[in-house]
Amino acid sequence: MSAELALSPRRPLLLRRFAGVSPVIVVAGTVLALIVLAALLAPLIAPYDPNAVDLMSPYEGSSPAHWLGTDASGRDILSRLLYGARISLAGPALVIACSMTAGVLLALVAAWCGGKVDAVISRLIEVLFAFPGLILAVVAVAVFGAGFWAPVVALSIAYVPMVARILRSVALRERNLPYVAALQIQGVPAPRIAVRHLLPNLMPMITVQAGIGFAYAMLDLAAISYLGLGLQPPTADWGVMVAEGQSSIIEGYPQESLYAAGAVLVTVVCLNLVSGWVAERYDVRGAEL
């Protein structure tokens, strides 16, 4: 058995790590990496200023000068997509960072303390659950005005219950394992057990949740931008671009909406695939234990 297990010792680490991973996941992962890279390098690789208006050449089709054509104001769609990736990815990233932090904290406290504390946090989560994220965002915009921040803050709050509820159940199972009891008997302080032991063991689940949440946040933010409640034109943002391109569709030039919607779609699908894969790997590992 050991001889068989010791197969392929010479393959490079990276290849070995991803041996047996389905090609679909490899493609999805690569696409995601490229999108992030494009967002980071937008100023270097974008052929035009995303907001440079050229009224002489609206609605151009794909050409060597404009790979994806131009919009109603003659702006280069590719450049707008590349710059748009920055804000379209930054929004969900912020939402996830905030909601994950709050959710993990609530989950750990609820799972650790149990009893009344758990009951209060659980009820709080249920109350928050009753507010649909989009409605909360619309209300936030009505109160604080449209822009980048209001929807991000609203969604950060709206996503907390989803994260907290799932992680609480996982944390609760972990907390009741005997190794935690052993640490308690040793006299390890509770915060240390939570941070040094529970958190690392919850990390796979947190990663999965973050991936799925990111995709949701991206769709929700795009929808808010599309409704005109989030980012405002002429900001280059995928949601804004879909909305702006709407009027052009009637004129027979669907490219702006199409490409922007396509970018959202591709990102979300790739994210779902990759986070699903992480979840599966986690399951396999869990079965080993």
Partner 1 sequence: MNTPRNHEPPPLRSSSPRFRGHPEMTTLDIQDLRVAVPVRWGSKTILDGVSLTIAPGEALGLVGESGSGKTTSLRAVVGLLPRGATRSGTIHVNGTDIGTLSKAELRRFRGTQTAVVFQDPRAHINPLRSVGDFLLENLVEVQRKPRAEAERTVRGLLVDVGITDPERRMRQKPYELSGGLLQRVMIAAAMAAEPSLLLADEPTTALDVTTQEEVMAILDEQRKARGLAMLFVSHDLDLADAVCDRIAVMKDGRIVEELGAEGLRQQASHDYTKALIAARPRLQVSVPSGRPYDEKPAAAPLLEVAELRKVYRVRPATGTGHEDLVAVDSISFGLPRAGSLAIVGESGSGKSTTARMIVGLAQPTSGRIVVDGDEWQPGRLSSAERRRRGRLVQMVFQDPYSSLDRRQSAQDCLREALAVHGHLPKKQRDQRVAELLDQVGLTAEQGRALPRSLSGGQRQRVAIARALAADPSVLILDEAVSALDVSVQAQVLELLDRIRRELDVALLFISHDLPVVQQISDDVLVMHRGEVVESGAVNDVLSAPREDYTRRLIDSVPREGWQPRRRRTTPAAPDPVEVP
**Closest distance to partner 1 from the beta carbon of 188 (Å):** 5
**Closest distance to partner 1 from the beta carbon of 119 (Å):** 14
Q: Which spans of this chain sit near partner 1 (rule: CB under 8 A)?
A: 1, 4-5, 7-8, 19-20, 177-179, 181-190, 196-197, 200-201, 288-289
Helix axes 199-226, 255-288, angle to 10 degrees: 160
Q: How far apart are CA 1 and CA 26, in angstroms?
A: 30
Q: How far apart are CA 194 and CA 33, in angstroms?
A: 32
Query: Which of 107/198 has CB closer to partner 1?
Result: 198
**Closest distance to partner 1 from the beta carbon of 184 (Å):** 7
Q: How far apart are CA 134 and CA 221, in angstroms?
A: 9
Query: Which of 2/143 has CB closer to partner 1?
Result: 2
**Closest distance to partner 1 from the beta carbon of 113 (Å):** 11
Which residue do the tokens 């949701």 mark?
Answer: 216
Query: Which of 5/14 has CB closer to partner 1?
Result: 5
DSSP result, 181-245: HHHHHHT--HHHHIIIIIHHHHHHHHHHHHHHHHHHHHHHHHHHHHTTSSS-TTS--HHHHHHHH
Query: Which of 182/269 has CB closer to partner 1?
Result: 182
